Structure formats: structure tokens, C-alpha cells
Amino acid sequence: MSDSTQPNSAKESKADAKAEKARAKAMRPWFKKKRFILPLAVVAVIVLSTALRGGNSGGSTASSNDSTNNSSPSNSDSAASNWYTDNYASFTAVDFSGSGDDVVSLPAGAINGLINATYKGSSNFVIESLDTSNQTADLAVNTIGNYSGTTVYGVNSLGGEVAKLKVTASGKWTLHVAPLDSAPALPSSGKGDGVFKYESTDSPTWVISHKGQSNFAVNEESDSSIMGLLVNEIGNYNGTVPAYAGPALVIITADGSWTIATK
């Protein structure tokens, strides 16, 4: 009997550890959110692995553990998927809808995530994330008039652990809240706000354009980015900027159409 319960106990411990890791990341001050420790940990793992293999001349045959723990361009998709779930919250997606001002409670553990929102109205439309004390943690959306787009909450929270979303609106709205791991791959073009995965291990140079009237920003969240804000302009934009190696989240704020191409 004890043998059958031990795996479940291990799974629960692993899930608790992952949730605590995501919670600790969200609670870190903004100046500590960029991760410098991971490269050192990778170096340590490589050194330890080399020492353990020692004089093994048959290095061309890797064990299943080696192939799981050591990432390479050939298995970058698997490594990227682990990065999103290891660094951000995992929970079951949930939908909300309403008309006018409201406050909605997030699922347990959903301390950061995606918000796909729609709004029909002529007045201000605002989505704020709130901590357990109802203090504003961050501002996800702040616009006037109709809105349709995807943004994030809790990624760079200035408050406590996010627990609720506050909606300010004069018309009907919908919210689809989902884990960041569910973001789609970065496309070459789009329109309006969006959140995407960049999974290549290359450090690219991006040629970026925007046609619009309001703020246009491109932010990249990754282990290798120190200052992740790549572009922050008002109105039309055309420029070339250096970006960072993935896996990463690319967060775009825009009111018009935009393009991103690798130079």
C-alpha cells in the first residue's frame, strides 16, 4: 500500500514546488526580475556532468536522462515549453463577461497570465490586477473606446501577489484568462496588443514597424534580457533593434498594424 501512495506524494510535492517558484518570481522586486542565476546553474550542471562521465569514450550514445536535461537547438521546443511552465503560473483557463465596472476573482495560483479582452463602448476601458489587499499590482489595459487584444498581468507586478482583476467600463466586455504557456508563436505581423512566444535560441536583430497613433511598445521577457524594452514610441515607427535569445515572451502594445522581421 505504501508503494502506491508514494508516487502521488511525489507528484504533489513537485506541483507545490513549481507553484512556489512561480509565486516567488512574481513577488520579486522589479530590479531582481531578470534572471542572472540560471546561466551559472547551467555551467555547474555541465561541469558536474562532464566530471561524472569522466573517461567514458563512448560519448556518442547519450542516456535518456542526458537527453532530457541538456538542451540543444534540436530540442529547443521542449526546453522552451519547460521554461514557460517553470517560470510562470499554471492553471485552468477561465472566462469572465459583464457590462460596466466589476471585480472578478482569479483561480487559485493564477498570479500571472494572459488576458484576451474585448470591449464595446465609447468611454474608458481599464483592466487592473489587484493583490489580496485590493492594491493595484499592475495595469493591463488602459484605453478609450472599443478594444480587442491580448495582454499580460502579474509578469512585472509592482504590488503583491495578484488575486483579482478590476474592470472599469461603460459597455459590455469579455475576458479570457489563461496561462502564459498558452501564448502562440511570434508571427511576422499583427494588429493591436499581443503576447507571443519566441522560442529560437538565436539572438536576433529585428526590423520592426508600426502604423498607428497611440503608444507602440515591444517588450521581451527572457533569461538573457537585462532591459527587455526593445521599442517604446508614439505613433508610426520604423526601426531596427537587437533582441535576445529565447525562450522568451514578446509583449506588444499597439493600436495599429505592426511587423517584425529578422534582419
Asked if 106 contacts 178 with a C-beta cutoff of 8 angstroms, the reply is no
Q: What is the pLDDT of residue 17?
A: 54
Has residue 262 got a pLDDT over 70? yes
SS3 call for 34: coil
Q: What is the pLDDT of residue 41?
A: 37
Question: Strand 172-178 vs strand 136-144: parallel, antiparallel, or unpaired?
Answer: unpaired
Strands (E) in the chain, as ranges, are 94-99, 102-105, 113-120, 124-131, 136-144, 147-153, 162-168, 172-178, 189-191, 194-198, 205-211, 215-222, 229-234, 237-242, 248-253, 257-262
Write out pLDDT tens, residues 2-56: 444 444 455 455 555 555 555 555 444 433 344 333 333 333 333 333 333 333 3
Closest listed residue to residue 246, CA positions, set 199, 184, 187:
199
Which residues, in sequence order, are CB contacts of 224 under 8 Å at separation 6+? 203, 244, 245, 248
* 6 phi, psi to nearest 5 deg: -65, -45
Q: Residue 214 and residue 234: Cα distance in Å, rounded? A: 5
Name the amino acid, one letter, at 35. Answer: R
As a whole number, mean pLDDT of residues 194-211 equals 96
Q: State yes or no: cis peptide before 204, omega within 30 of 0.
A: no
> Which one has a higher pLDDT value, 128 or 68?
128
**From the centroid of its chain, how far is CA 186?**
12
* 10 phi, psi to nearest 5 deg: -65, -40
Q: Residue 180 and residue 201: Cα distance in Å, rounded? A: 19
Q: What is the pLDDT of residue 56?
A: 37
DSSP symbol at 49: H
- Please state, for a pLDDT cut of 90, what percent of the chain lies above it: 65
Has residue 78 got a pLDDT over 60? no
What mean pLDDT is reported for the chain? 79
Q: What is the pLDDT of residue 21?
A: 52
Closest listed residue to residue 26, CA positions, set 82, 109, 92, 104:
109
63's grid cell = 542516456
As a whole number, mean pLDDT of residues 195-211 equals 96
Q: What is the pLDDT of residue 166?
A: 98
Helix and strand numbers, DSSP H then E, in the chain: 4, 16
Strand order, beta sheet including 124-131: 102-105, 162-168, 124-131, 136-144
Has residue 224 got a pLDDT over 50? yes
Has residue 92 got a pLDDT over 90? yes
Asked if 56 contacts 189 with a C-beta cutoff of 8 angstroms, the reply is no
Q: What is the pLDDT of residue 132?
A: 94
> Which one has a higher pLDDT value, 58 or 104?
104
Q: What is the pLDDT of residue 205?
A: 98
Evaluated on CA atoms 208, 210, 214, 220, the torsion sign reads: negative
As a whole number, mean pLDDT of residues 223-241 equals 93
Asked if 140 contacts 115 with a C-beta cutoff of 8 angstroms, the reply is yes
Q: Residue 88 and residue 65: Cα distance in Å, rounded? A: 24
160: confidence class by pLDDT, cuts 50, 70, 90: confident
212's grid cell = 498607428
- Please state, for a pLDDT cut of 70, what percent of the chain lies above it: 69
